Chain A
């Protein structure tokens, strides 16, 4: 295999590069004043609640070192929960507690933590260890998603989530991120999670990448990853579109999880969504982005937009066949 792709080849594939993403999409379509809405997960949650977007239930917010001591009472009320920084990025600083065993709390990987470790983690969050620029932060304690059994065989610990890129209100690309042993239960591709492309029209999974390699099965469970039909697909797209409308960012990454009982929940929003989705879906983002940009009037009705998104996907598919 060659070490380098030629720039012209990547361009032909419509691959979006980091510089172009920053200069032509994020800077142009995402007004900086709207960033706090997505960078601060508390604000995101508030907006979602106000506009009827389904999100994991908020159990509590820890704002001061003093409140760290009170964490125990929140832990007592809920068997499973997630502690995460309000200003975290890249999935850093997220602690998932699955259950309790005597005086210890069980992490997703089965290891046991004493209360003091959870408190230390929380105060690390407060002091800004995981926030951009190290500014003091708040810790969010929320419902731990009980993920839908359809992902049971293709994830290793952690919660698989669905990332959808919404550009100018049109869902443009989608993937599922599956935690692996490598990724320590985290759903981040560069930490070793598996990225699994989704066909926008049908909501079925296509091929998967793990550490930049194409795989057809989950590396830990060995279960095939292709052709899985994702339930509630249209609802998921609708949820993502709704989120983009509410926060007003033109180029948005929406992270959605599917709960066993609650259905699709919006986990968080990202104003600078990564480029790995291209590797997972096998399609460059740029072709669709350019097509959407060239439209003078985009449909306003959500269902019309979903239809438009599916037309885009079909044109990409047919292109691939021609190639």
Chain B
């Protein structure tokens, strides 16, 4: 029962950790490796107008809800203007204001977006529209179309699809021809469709956005048709009739208001341009973390200030080091001084790099040991002796730093993290084992500790692992699960296969 419970817990933790990770990979689009890159589009709206010399107020709708994309970054470039951001029910608006504006004025709004699987729905619920009174000859034409479509549809969705199919048919009947002749542009065409939908009291509206597949200048906002089915808004292309928001369509605003509004100026114009670049996925994830709405991204470490992120990056590797120690001790059977001492040494190696770290460690421990053997002759009490060893370790490190500085080896200057207390304890323990169990055992355990520290260093400085642990801290649950699992491992250790090999070929 005991084993079963432990394994149950271990399995549950491992599964939970992997599930959250999988969710973040597949749903939030976080990459599993740090070196993946992704498309980033920078869209710029350049607004120009001519000031009259008096106060001017300019409003620009800016993207708010952008299905299929996530907002990474946005900039308002408007040197002398005051800026406020207004949030309406469906839209976001930048309001620029200035006391005196004379001559040509140019303002920029810039937004960086990347693809995202996160979908937000518009949550406004419209009223049912009044059925309009159509003038003749349109009234009978529209009535005929409405009747026709109703025959072949079941609900709002299929009604809209069927209507768009008939209206955009390549061989239209005369009723449709009549409507088509009325509309001269897509904008108007969409309005006509909305008008027809009003006749069957389906709430409909236009949303506006940009097609941003590649870098381009002089883009124009184009409309999509949205109908509300009583539950949510459904989007359609008014010309092709295809359902859904196209993959490269960046929604800019909802509704029919002009994208800009100017008070106190003339000749307002907006120009949209887009540039497509690549960015490392993790940077995208980092930037996008704040703008996501998922609970997992709100609690993401990526949302922390950068200097804190670095501390956590280090911290999150510690459990991996501990897991390594568990593995090397209970499955392999390596002997070390102290349980987690090698991991602390490994963390110190991060500062000095492996090669110099090992040299440093060996030098300090061997010189320290020699001095410690002399201290034994002085017959000091334990605590004063430990303190003396600690002081000697500090002096040794100072000396090594000074000497290497003279030699021009800068690596060893950065040893602030070298755990001196741990080194002092190591020297003390090693000397006791040396005396009690002989040099062989002491050196064996010393080498074991150093080996674990080296493996620990390799694991804990692995960039992929660091990235994984940082972006998916829920992997700690997996680490914990593995620890629990190994906690009930009762099989042989690798070292025991050697230790007991003589048991095999022996008679009674």
Residues of A at the B interface (CB closer than 8 Å) are 1-7, 9-10, 13, 15, 17-20, 23-24, 90, 92-93, 116-117, 120, 123-124, 127-130, 134, 188, 190-192, 206-207, 209, 212-214, 278-279, 282, 284, 317, 320-321
Contacts and interface: CB of A to CB of B under 8 A. Distances in A.
Interface residues of B, number: 29
B500 A4 contact: no
Interface stretch (B61-69, B240-248, B258-266, B486-494): B486-494
B438 A15 contact: no
Given A13-B503, A92-B436, A207-B506, A6 B490 contact: no
B497 A5 contact: yes
A2 to B, nearest CB: 6
Contacts of A120: 379
A5 B493 contact: no
B154 interface: no
A5 B432 contact: no
Contact of A10 (B333, B441, B497): B497
Contact of A190 (B441, B492, B496): B441
Given A7-B497, A127-B382, A191-B437, A317 B502 contact: no
Interface string B23-45: 00000000000000000000000
A128 B379 CA distance: 15
Interface string B413-450: 00000000000000000001000111001000000000
A130 B383 CA distance: 13
A282 to B, nearest CB: 5
B501 A18 contact: no
Nearest to A199: B508
B222 to A, nearest CB: 68
B434 to A, nearest CB: 12
B499 interface: yes
A209 B498 contact: no
A201 to B, nearest CB: 12
Given A5-B501, A124-B382, A127-B381, A10 B508 contact: no
B306 interface: no
Contacts of A9: 504
Contacts of A19: 330, 489-493
Contact of A278 (B437, B441, B491, B500): B500
A17 B441 contact: no
A17 B508 contact: no
B408 interface: no
Contacts of B491: 7, 17, 19-20
B507 interface: yes
Given A18-B493, A129-B432, A206-B508, 7 more contacts: A3-B498, A13-B504, A90-B437, A93-B436, A130-B432, A282-B503, A282-B508
Interface in B354-390: 379, 381-383
Given A4-B497, A19-B489, A320-B508, A128 B382 contact: yes
A158 to B, nearest CB: 14
Nearest to B379: A120
B484 to A, nearest CB: 12
Contacts of A282: 503, 506-508
Contacts of B438: 191-192
20 contacts: A2-B501, A4-B497, A5-B498, A5-B501, A10-B492, A13-B500, A13-B503, A15-B500, A19-B491, A23-B488, A93-B436, A116-B379, A117-B379, A127-B382, A190-B437, A192-B438, A279-B503, A282-B508, A317-B508, A321-B508
Contacts of A134: 382
B431 to A, nearest CB: 10
B490 A20 contact: yes
A274 to B, nearest CB: 11
Q: Which of A1, A18, A284, A317 has the most CB of B within 10 A?
A: A18
B497 A6 contact: yes
Contact of A129 (B382, B489, B498, B500): B382
